[in-house]
């Protein structure tokens, strides 16, 4: 009897694991439990994803190059607001186990700021500082755009305005978060000097500090990608990222004994590998949060992810022709250029598949992307060639010619039969495909 119960329980656990790890992506129900399992699935997979790990390594290197100018920017803002000591305290708190490194960096930053504000060096120092920070911001934007499947970077003007806003908003958010917490803590404890209330008040303000940390990540997820990110999706992702970041800090603080032993072995150089490890894990947490933000905003279209990665050539061709037909017939109906989300919502095609096909069609010169608003945030798609000549054959020919070919020496001479048969089949297929114009293909109502 016990064995039967254990077997039944084991079977249910195995079935749930299969569903949570793979089957959930074929479940298109809009239920909270389904979306929650998908979000957890994405969080776990993204944390261990090779792509996320690789991007985190790259961002660690870029951050290392920009860390002195970034600290200089924070300290300069702190001096402007008269809270330099508070800034330094927060940097120490945010980088547990790295006291020797932070002290060294702070001394270097002071010398950097002093030399950058004297004589001719003020202009050179300011330009170098801004260039280093902007380069880091561009790298961050490229990484976030890669997660969001966005090819277009901000224009030069938007880079100047948006990056300036981010360089002011994000550090000030951290400053205000810490400053408000400390100010209110001292004020309230002065008003209510009750010993047993002190731990409660301290706990409340630790929660407040955590809340501002989550808001920092929320602002990062909203501002960094070159697309519109919904606040609630960014907030949920910011909360999850804040938890991961807080746990990481706790782990590094709790590991001080291990760090001391590590210092005994490596001496003064111990801070560098530990800092690099800490920075890489921080970036893994941030990029995982960005991926969760993307997935949560596109959760209904994030289904069939396993099927998309193994899609057949035949089915891929059908989806490609279908999306092309939507773009062309929308154009011929003299309606505004179709947007990506309209194709997703109208026809239920997964977001990543739509994005992949649209990028393929752009590379093949079949369609073009156009800006639909003054800010450059909204894009539509329209034909890049005359619809009257856009046949199935023309489409297939353009796609087939993408990429490198003919680079193997003596291939045609070694395989003359293969070349002849394949060329004959392609010519026959293309002759028939040239008779079908994409504008004449029947699709369901594409009006919105």
Would the pTM of this model clear 0.85, i.e. be above it? no
Q: Which of 96-105, 167-176, 263-272 has the lowest mean pLDDT?
A: 263-272
Shared domain for 4 and 107, answered yes or no, is no
Decide if pLDDT at 191 tops 60: no
Residue 403, pLDDT score:
79
Shared domain for 142 and 228, answered yes or no, is yes
Q: Is residue 445 part of a domain?
A: no
* CA atoms 300, 306, 311, 315: torsion sign: negative
CATH number at residue 421: 1.10.10.10
Count of alpha carbons within 13 Å of 270, Cβ hemisphere only? 16
Q: Is residue 40 part of a domain?
A: no
Residue 122, pLDDT score:
52
Q: Of 278, 299, 320, which one is at a domain's C-terminal end?
A: 299
Q: Tokens 């603080």 map to which residue?
A: 253
**Tally of domains in the chain:** 3
Which tokens is 436 given? 């079908």
> Is there a contact between 245 and 287 (Cβ–Cβ < 8 Å)?
no
CA 50 – CA 54 distance, rounded (Å): 6
Decide if pLDDT at 201 tops 80: no
| Range from 9-18, 155-164, 362-371 that averages highest in pLDDT | 362-371
Shared domain for 4 and 137, answered yes or no, is no
CA 222 from centre of chain: 10
Q: Is residue 80 part of a domain?
A: yes
CA 395 – CA 403 distance, rounded (Å): 15
CA 330 – CA 345 distance, rounded (Å): 15
Shared domain for 129 and 169, answered yes or no, is yes
| Range from 138-147, 220-229, 291-300, 322-331 that averages highest in pLDDT | 322-331
CA 210 from centre of chain: 22
Decide if pLDDT at 311 tops 60: yes
Q: Tokens 């399992």 map to which residue?
A: 37
Q: What does the DSSP 8-state code read for residue 334?
A: T
> Is there a contact between 147 and 292 (Cβ–Cβ < 8 Å)?
no
> Is there a contact between 259 and 97 (Cβ–Cβ < 8 Å)?
yes
Shared domain for 236 and 113, answered yes or no, is yes
CA Rg value for the chain: 28
Decide if pLDDT at 399 tops 80: yes
Q: Is residue 119 part of a domain?
A: yes
> Is there a contact between 367 and 361 (Cβ–Cβ < 8 Å)?
yes
CA 326 – CA 318 distance, rounded (Å): 12
Q: Is residue 317 part of a domain?
A: yes
Shared domain for 62 and 196, answered yes or no, is yes
Q: Is residue 253 part of a domain?
A: yes
Residue 35, pLDDT score:
75
Shared domain for 10 and 146, answered yes or no, is no
Q: What are the pLDDT digits (tens) for 372-381?
A: 876 666 788 9
Residue 376, pLDDT score:
61
Measured N-to-C along each axis, helices 313-332 and 351-363 cross at an angle, to the nearest 10 degrees, of: 70
**What is the SS3 assignment for 140?**
helix
Q: Is residue 446 part of a domain?
A: no
Q: Of 299, 320, 340, which one is at a domain's C-terminal end?
A: 299
Shared domain for 295 and 314, answered yes or no, is no
Q: What is the mean pLDDT of the chain?
A: 76
Shared domain for 9 and 59, answered yes or no, is no
Shared domain for 364 and 407, answered yes or no, is yes
Shared domain for 207 and 118, answered yes or no, is yes
Residue 265 or residue 333, greater confidence: 333
Decide if pLDDT at 135 tops 50: yes
Q: What is the band of 89 on the pLDDT scale with cuts at 50, 70, 90?
A: low
Residue 224's closest CA among 158, 296, 128?
Answer: 158
Q: Is residue 36 part of a domain?
A: no
Q: Of 271, 299, 327, which one is at a domain's C-terminal end?
A: 299
Count of alpha carbons within 13 Å of 304, Cβ hemisphere only? 14
CA 56 – CA 155 distance, rounded (Å): 25
Phi, psi torsion values for 154, nearest 5 degrees: -60, 150
Residue 278's closest CA among 257, 259, 261?
Answer: 259
Q: What are the pLDDT digits (tens) for 167-188?
A: 777 666 665 555 555 555 555 5
Shared domain for 55 and 167, answered yes or no, is yes
Instruction: Give the helix, strand, coil percentages of the chain, each rounded to 5.
Output: 75, 5, 20
Residue 67's closest CA among 99, 108, 97?
Answer: 108
Q: Which domain range does residue 383 map to?
A: 305-440
Average pLDDT estimate for 304-310: 75
């Amino acid at each position: 009897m016990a064995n039967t119960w254990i077997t039944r329980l084991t079977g249910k656990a195995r079935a749930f694991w299969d569903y949570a790890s793979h089957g959930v992506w074929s479940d298109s129900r809009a239920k909270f439990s389904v979306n929650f399992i998908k979000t957890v699935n994405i969080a776990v997979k993204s944390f261990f994803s090779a792509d996320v790990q690789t991007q985190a390594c790259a961002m660690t290197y870029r951050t290392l190059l920009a860390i002195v100018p970034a600290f200089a920017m924070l300290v300069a803002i702190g001096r402007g607001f008269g809270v330099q000591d508070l800034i330094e305290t927060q940097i120490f708190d945010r980088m547990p186990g790295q006291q020797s490194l932070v002290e060294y960096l702070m001394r270097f930053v002071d010398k950097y700021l002093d030399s950058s504000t004297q004589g001719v060096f003020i202009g050179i120092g300011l330009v170098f500082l801004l260039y280093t920070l902007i380069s880091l911001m561009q790298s961050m934007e490229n990484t976030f755009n890669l997660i969001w499947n966005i090819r277009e970077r901000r224009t030069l003007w938007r880079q100047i305005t948006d990056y300036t806003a981010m360089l002011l908003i994000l550090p000030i958010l951290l400053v205000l978060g810490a400053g408000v917490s400390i100010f209110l803590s001292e004020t309230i404890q002065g008003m209510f000097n009750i010993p047993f209330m002190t731990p409660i008040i301290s706990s409340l303000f630790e929660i407040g500090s955590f809340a501002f940390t989550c808001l920092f990540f929320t602002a990062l997820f909203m501002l960094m990608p070159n697309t519109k990110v919904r606040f609630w999706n960014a907030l949920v992702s910011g909360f999850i990222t804040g938890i991961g970041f807080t746990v990481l800090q706790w782990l590094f603080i709790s590991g001080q004994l291990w760090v001391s032993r590590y210092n005994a072995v490596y001496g003064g150089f111990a801070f560098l590998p530990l800092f690099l490890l800490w920075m890489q894990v921080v970036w893994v947490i941030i990029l995982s949060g960005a991926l969760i933000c993307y997935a949560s905003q596109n959760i209904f279209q994030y289904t069939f992810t396993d099927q998309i990665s193994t899609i057949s050539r035949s089915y891929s061709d059908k989806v490609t022709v279908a999306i092309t037909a939507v773009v062309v017939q929308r154009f011929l109906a003299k309606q505004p250029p179709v947007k990506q989300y309209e194709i997703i919502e109208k026809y239920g095609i997964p977001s990543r598949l739509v994005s992949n096909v649209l990028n393929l069609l752009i590379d093949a010169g079949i369609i073009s992307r156009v800006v639909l608003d003054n800010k450059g945030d909204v894009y539509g798609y329209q034909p890049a060639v005359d619809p009257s000549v856009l046949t199935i054959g023309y489409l297939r020919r353009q796609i087939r010619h993408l990429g490198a070919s003919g680079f193997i020496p003596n291939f045609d001479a070694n395989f003359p039969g293969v070349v002849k048969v394949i060329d004959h089949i392609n010519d026959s297929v293309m002759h028939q495909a040239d008779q079908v114009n994409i504008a004449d293909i029947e699709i369901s109502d594409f009006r919105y």
